[in-house]
Amino acid sequence: MTTPFPFTAVVGQDDLRLALLLNAVSPAVGGVLVRGEKGTAKSTAVRALSALLPEVAVVPGCRFSCDPAAPDPGCPDGPHETGGGTTRPARMVELPVGASEDRLVGALDIERALAEGVKAFEPGLLAEAHRGILYVDEVNLLHDHLVDLLLDAAAMGASYVEREGVSVRHAARFLLVGTMNPEEGELRPQLLDRFGLTVEVAASREPETRVEVVRRRLAYDADPAGFAARWADEEAAVRQRVVAARQLLPRVRLGDGALRQIAATCAAFEVDGMRADIVMARTATALAAWAGRTDVLAEDVRQAALLALPHRRRRNPFDAPGLDEDKLDRTLEEFSGDDDPGPDGDGDGPGGGGQPEPDEGPAAGGGGARPEEPGEDGEPQASGAREQSPVRAAEPFRTKVFSVPGIGRGAAGRRSRARTEHGRTMGAQRPRGALTRLHLAATVQAAAPHQRARGRSGRGLVVRRDDLRQARREGRESNLVLFVVDASGSMAARQRMSAVKGAVLSLLLDAYQRRDKVGLVTFRGTGAEVALPPTSSVDAAAARLESLPTGGRTPLAAGLLRAHEVLRVERLRDPARRPLLVVVTDGRATGGPEPVALAGRAARLFAADQVASVVVDCESGPVRLGLAGQLAGELGGSAVTLDELRADSIAGLVEDVRRRAA
């Protein structure tokens, strides 16, 4: 749209607007990550921010937006003389989720290479965003190779391009703003930590507020220019306030008392590293400048914590976001210094911020008592054995990465290798059919030996159809991770179900972050059931797992056969999505006639279909039968113990499920 929706016309969303304005006052805060459901004005507010930023002084003709007061000595368009220059509006550059690596960092100028035969660099979006805003909508869906490039640029403040005979370094300091819907998957921790602030947004449940949102949107759609004109005075007032706050910022005093509160707060919420302390200090200083003060108060520290810590604190997966505000207030009160006033009496800082963390509550269904152990062989022998109450899952942990061998062509994700349109360039090949992604360097190399025979004149390069080379790109795909969980009495007898549930919950979290589909098959007693058909809702799988009861014999064959049927149906529905079978069991098989032989035949069905599989061995105790390892052999997969499942475990080798990669 040529006329953006005015920033000051956004209804509600106080925290979102405040976080964006603080970054406008002090870009050193480090950007904003906006998390929330769809239709909550996330993108609207971000796109409107650029109109409030002061104009930028640039060197005329510099494609890399050098500051004339201090030009970059290594600028590819330089060297530039100090002084002079012109001004232009601050840019907001949008990075599409499906952008190529060339579009982000830049590449060889194809037109000049073909027409003039020279190597010239064509800048990418990182150069365009320098000294402005880089906006990524649906940042959690960004391809991993682009995330890596963003991390490098954000860490170094520069972009380094070494490719296709081009070697370029240019400054790339930008305000990173991302929006995402958490239902579509989480963000990689490395990129998450690069965002200075985070804000959770949700649609208002107040009818009057919703009415006003609709009223303003309809008015804007009917006459964008007229609607913007009605808000021009408010926009000008906010713009002037941003300029005044920027001028005041160098004079704001951050006292030792405020610094102690910042350090104590970060320590109390167990954040990793020191970036949180630094971001909180910068945010509190920007808050004071925005309020027109030269001293940082405790209320500034409180608000800074609500904006800078929720995405950095250690918390259990699938927990609600936000901070425990009572704990925050107690920490600020305990470490209030003489040079800083304490928190406000009502305990509320400006703007609200995070949401209170939910109480833990009692363990689901089982209280604190452990079920009684069954008989000596670990199996209840009577057909009417008492079913044991569900036990709560142990604390989840970061697991090792399991992947499907080979190269697939499934939906974009973060687990297994795949041929993609937007992945990292891995080589070149002759095009099969229409050319979609030109590999320039390979094309030039193919054409170069024939230039004399083709009568090349001047500096141009004669390229024919046979010279064209298709870029071969590789990225990551999501998979269908099907969990087959043993819930029989032998698992509960050794009081291991809590640890087993914790392990499966950890694998579910990994699947959530890698955008996999998941399914859950359980077996116990006399049969197996599909506890959760394949779905993208990992939360639903976690809820089913928590309420999973245990007890009875171990019909391993029934569980495997049910899983095989689930995969057969899913293969018909989505043939491009490759499965990964995760069997969680101690390997016992006692249910039904000839249980061991039947389980072996069922396992070999997966081996025949070349389904990637891993067995999580839950056997414990001084005497181990090694049945889970035998099952993994029948499946044609790998086995890993509960201890080896942890990413930080040093026991055993990394089980990466690549047994049949050749």
Q: Which residues are catalytic?
A: 275
Full DSSP string of 424-465? EEEEEE--SSS--SB-HHHHHHHHGGGTTTTT--TT-----G
Structure tokens at 76: 């590819």
Vertex 494: Cα angle to 489 and 496 (nearest 5)? 90
Dihedral of the alpha carbons of 98, 103, 104, 107, in degrees to the nearest 10: 150
Full DSSP string of 79-94? ---SS--EEEPPPEEE
Please say whether the dihedral angle defined by the alpha carbons of residues 12, 15, 21 and 25, taken in this order, is positive or negative.
Answer: positive
Ramachandran region of residue 651, left (φ > 0), alpha (ψ -120 to 50) or beta? beta
Measured from the Cβ of residue 488, the count of other Cβ atoms closer than 10 Å reads 30
Selection from 422, 554, 483 nearest residue 103 by Cα: 422
> Residue 542 and residue 393: Cα distance in Å, rounded?
10
**Is 14 within 8 Å of 351 (Cβ atoms)?**
yes
> Residue 64 and residue 327: Cα distance in Å, rounded?
46
- In sequence order, which residues have a C-beta less than 8 Å from that of residue 577 and are 6 or more positions away? 410, 411, 477, 478, 479, 480, 517, 570
**Is 9 within 8 Å of 231 (Cβ atoms)?**
yes
Q: What residues form DSSP beta bridges with 34?
A: 179, 199
**Is 309 within 8 Å of 353 (Cβ atoms)?**
no
Selection from 463, 418, 408 nearest residue 438 by Cα: 463
**What is the enclosing helix (H) or strand (E) of 418?**
strand 412-429
CB burial of 250-267 (b: ≥16 within 10 Å; e: otherwise) equals: eebebeebbbbbbbbbbe
Structure tokens at 268: 């109390």
Q: Running DSSP on this structure, what letter comes out for residue 323?
A: -
SS3 content of the chain, % helix, strand, coil (to 5): 35, 20, 45
Q: Running DSSP on this structure, what letter comes out for residue 392?
A: P
